Each structure stands twice: as C-alpha cells, then as structure tokens.
Amino acid sequence: MKRSEINKAIDSALAILRENNIHLPAFAHWSPAQWKENAPRTANIREIGLGWDVTDFGTGDFARVGSVLFTLRNGSAAKPSAGTPYAEKLILQRHASRQEIPFHFHRCKTEDIINRGGGVLMLELYNSLADDTLDKSGEIHLRMDGLPQTLPAGAAVEIAPGGSITLTPGLFHRFWAKQGAGDLICGEVSSVNDDRTDNVFLAVGKRFSHIEEDESPRYVLCNEYKDI
C-alpha cells in the first residue's frame, strides 16, 4: 500500500466515526513525532498492539480487499500482565466497492463481531477441514445475538445495526459492507488477539501490508511501533 492511501484511509475512518459519535483515545491522533515524545510511557500500548491497523492483505487492491481497524484493548497470552485477558477492536469497511476482509479463520480466538452502525454487515461462513480448506457440506452451529443458529455451509448472513455474531476457532468467515447501505462500523470483542500468528487465510495471506512511502506518515500503525 502507498502511505498516501493509508493516510487517506485513516482520515476517512475518523470522519465516519465522528459522524456516528464514536470517539477514540487521544493517541489515535498522534503524529510520529508525538509517538517518539511519548515513547517511555507507551511501552505497554506498543507491546500489545493497540492502535491503527490498515491492510490490503497483500492484494494491492485496498478498495476491494482491505480494512481499517483500531485496537482499543488487548493482552498477551505469553505475558498476561501486559494487558487485558480480552481484546476489543473497531473495524471499518467501505460499502461502495463492497470492500471485504477475505476468508480466514482463527486457531485460538473466539470473537463477537457486532454491527455498531452506519451500514449492514454481510458474512459468508464455512467450517474448516483438517487441511485448512472449506468444508462445503458441513452444517454450521453458532450463536447470533446469543441465540443458537444452525446454517448450511456457505451461508450468507446479514446483520443489521445492533446485531452480532459469535465466531469460534476453525470457522471460516469473510465479511463486507452491503452495497448501498452505507459505510460499516463493526466492533470486535474477543479473547486475546494475535494477528501475527492466529490468522489462517484461505487464499490471500499477508496480514500486514508492505508500505510504499510516497508521502510523509500522519499516523503510526500498530505494526510500525518498533521503528519509532
């Protein structure tokens, strides 16, 4: 991804959040210089990976395959004292190009994906097989808004604002904002999140994007803290 694309994506995300009266902590707005100034007291934030995460999953096509995320809370399985025993994120998807997060599952993490507002959340779901491919025949058993559901393989699920779905380890999912319904703000509440080791992608598999520095960064991504 180009740095200019990342800057623009975060600016747009902040505007969408303001429109929906959702506010982020002060460090969401820090420049690289401010991160350097605050380095001694942000060791914990850096260690558990709070903050901005913008990715095209290695596709080079952020408009169609990508997301802007912000991690608000997290912990560390290896170092429980570093944070919390749970994680929370905001996930923003653009509706005009049906921007999606591609098929993947988690080996360890259980997560609730919640439509916080702005649009309609769409998901496609499959169980996974032992070779990490799609189970195209097995029934899917899960909960939506805490209520048990049984769905066929490949089910397409539509979740309106306020609704939620619980995704358990091994459940393949991809999701996007329904075209014409507005840009989507999702919440994720989960067990501790480790994006470096716990994502299994069906096809696209680069969780963090290579960045082309075509302009100066206005924000720092959570996977760039080591460089600041």
* Residue 103: strand pairing partners: none
3-state secondary structure of 201: strand
**The two structure tokens encoding residue 30:** 């820090």
Provide the pLDDT confidence category of residue 136 given band limits of 50, 70 and 90. Answer: very high
Specify the length of the chain in residues: 228
What pLDDT was estimated at residue 81? Answer: 84
Average pLDDT over residues 65-74: 97
What pLDDT was estimated at residue 218? Answer: 97
What pLDDT was estimated at residue 226? Answer: 87
What range does the domain containing 66 cover?
3-227
The number of distinct structural domains making up the chain is: 1
Find the radius of gyration of the CA atoms of the chain. 17
Average pLDDT over residues 73-101: 93
For the cut 90, the answer to whether the pLDDT of residue 79 exceeds it is: no
What pLDDT was estimated at residue 99? Answer: 95
What pLDDT was estimated at residue 80? Answer: 82
Tell me the pLDDT tens digit for each residue of 5-45.
999 999 999 999 999 999 999 999 999 999 999 999 999 99
Under 8 Å between Cβ of 89 and 72 = yes
What pLDDT was estimated at residue 196? Answer: 87
For the cut 90, the answer to whether the pLDDT of residue 2 exceeds it is: yes
Provide the pLDDT confidence category of residue 61 given band limits of 50, 70 and 90. Answer: very high
For the cut 80, the answer to whether the pLDDT of residue 205 exceeds it is: no
Nearest CA to 98 out of 49, 128, 62 is that of 62
Average pLDDT of every residue of the chain: 95
What pLDDT was estimated at residue 212? Answer: 95
CATH number, domain containing residue 54: 2.60.120.10
CA angle 151, 157, 161 (to 5 degrees): 135
What pLDDT was estimated at residue 171? Answer: 98
**The two structure tokens encoding residue 190:** 């989960």
For the cut 80, the answer to whether the pLDDT of residue 204 exceeds it is: no
> Considering the chain, what percentage of its residues have pLDDT values greater than 90?
88
Provide the pLDDT confidence category of residue 207 given band limits of 50, 70 and 90. Answer: confident
Under 8 Å between Cβ of 107 and 196 = no
